[in-house]
Amino acid sequence: MTTLNPISAPWRKDAAVIGLVGVAHACSHFSQLLLPLMFPVFMRSFGLSFSELGFLMTVFFVVSGLGQASAGFVVDRFGARPVLLGSLVILASGCLAVSVANSYVGLMLGASLLGMGNCAFHPADFTILNQKVSAPRLGYAFSAHGLTGNLGWALAPVFMVGLSAAFDWRTAYVAAAVMILSIFVMLVWQRELLHAEVVDHTQATTSASTLAFLKIPVVWWCFSFFLLSTMTLAVVQSFAVSILQALHHVTFEAATFTLTAYMLCAAAGMFVGGFVASRWPRHSDKVVACCMTVAALFMALCGSGLFDATLTMVILAATGLAIGVGGPSRDMMIKKATPKGATGRVYGMVYSGLDTGFAISPLIFGVFMDHGWYGATLMGAALVLLLSVVVALGVGRRTVHA
């Protein structure tokens, strides 16, 4: 039997597990930007509106959210490793489907497959990390997990826009599929490091006992936090490039570079946040609240129109840094609220809030964009992020009494 969350293990083994899970997580985040990065291209090629493009992301995240809530149960029942490997194959299939799409329906099919492939990473990743990484190193593991995810986001604009410029957008999607399948092969090669024990269901065979965690209020507060905080991120990912072009008349390349800078700053923030989470694990909710407040202020400044293009792009990138610092503490906050033996289920349900936020946000703010309310889109995203601060503090209060 594998010891759950061992107290002490060789650093090299912990690092290997963290690295493998991190690379897989990067694929998940990479896939989330595959469609919005090509929105300007899809508008020209298929004659689509911002609302129609936003609905593509809604489809992606509705499928991902429903799948993620279910994936937690699958991970607990059958193990994290096979679910993780299967997700990579489905992601590659989604890339290939988009590469051959000739209509909006084809893009919808690709969005559905990409959402299905994206759904299981969080419950699978955190199940492996919580079981295989030594307890004193979990803060660093969560930091590395978030950092690699943000690096996946940062890679996507460079990868997709670069290959689209050099060849065409269809070739870029084929190349993305090849890269994801290469990572699948690497994980299969190192599969023993990813083995995690399944939950013992001999004493919990009824659906009532399996779903008992849903009666815990703090689980739904965690879900709400992810929903709200992710709505803001969805605005950045889906519309930041178009907003910068519309408000400040910057080039597509410059706007895309700003999105990459945002993700790189978020990754740097995740690195710093790992030390913060390890230093103040008991105050994770307060750390998250402080970081999100700063990020909301920065985003509101970007939407205010007070600054020129250069300063606006710098402040937007700094928003990613603030959010990144709070990332590991966010994951620590969720861990403290998770009942023993329900890691996959709780992480699946809580992180489906992330997908729900991604699904709702494009529908709401896509309408803003169609009306030309570009600054209001960023201001609205900042307001939603402030609401997530209130919820994060609520999670902290309820975890103490859970």
| CATH number of domain containing 360 | 1.20.1250.20
Q: Quick check: is 34 in a domain? A: yes
Other CB atoms within 10 Å distance of the CB of residue 232: 28
Q: Which DSSP state fits 100?
A: T
Measured in Å, how far apart are the chain's first and last C-alpha atoms?
A: 30
Per-position DSSP letters for 192-232, written without gaps between them: GGG--PPP--TT--SHHHHTGGGG-HHHHHHHHHHHHHHHH
Q: Quick check: is 145 in a domain? A: yes
Closest residue by Cα to residue 224 from 14, 40, 388, 380: 388
Q: Quick check: is 361 in a domain? A: yes
Please give the pLDDT value at position 174. Answer: 96
Number of Cα atoms under 13 Å in the Cβ half of residue 266: 29
Domain range for 181 is 11-196+209-400
Q: Quick check: is 54 in a domain? A: yes
Backbone angles phi, psi at 371, to 5 degrees: -90, 0
Backbone angles phi, psi at 195, to 5 degrees: -70, 125
Per-position DSSP letters for 222-272, written without gaps between them: HHHHHHHHHHHHHHHHHHHHHHHHHHH---HHHHHHHHHHHHHHHHHHHHH
Q: Quick check: is 388 in a domain? A: yes
Q: Quick check: is 204 in a domain? A: no
Please give the pLDDT value at position 209. Answer: 56
Q: Along the 402 residues of the chain, how does pLDDT read in single tens digits?
A: 344 455 455 778 888 888 899 999 999 999 988 998 888 889 888 888 888 888 888 888 888 878 877 777 787 778 788 888 999 999 999 999 999 999 999 999 999 999 999 988 878 888 888 887 777 777 778 778 878 887 888 888 889 988 988 899 999 999 999 999 999 999 999 888 777 776 554 444 444 456 666 677 778 888 888 899 889 888 988 889 889 999 999 888 888 889 889 988 988 888 888 888 878 878 888 999 999 999 999 999 999 989 999 999 999 999 999 998 998 888 788 777 666 655 566 767 777 787 788 878 888 898 899 889 999 999 999 999 999 999 988 887 777 544
Please give the pLDDT value at position 204. Answer: 46
Work out how many domains the chain is built from and give that number: 1
Q: Quick check: is 6 in a domain? A: no
Q: Quick check: is 15 in a domain? A: yes
Alpha-carbon torsion 9, 11, 12, 14, what sign? positive
Count Cβ atoms within 10 A of the Cβ of residue 254 and give its class: 0-12 exposed, 13-18 middle, 19 or more buried.
Answer: middle
pTM for the whole structure: 0.73
Please give the pLDDT value at position 321. Answer: 93
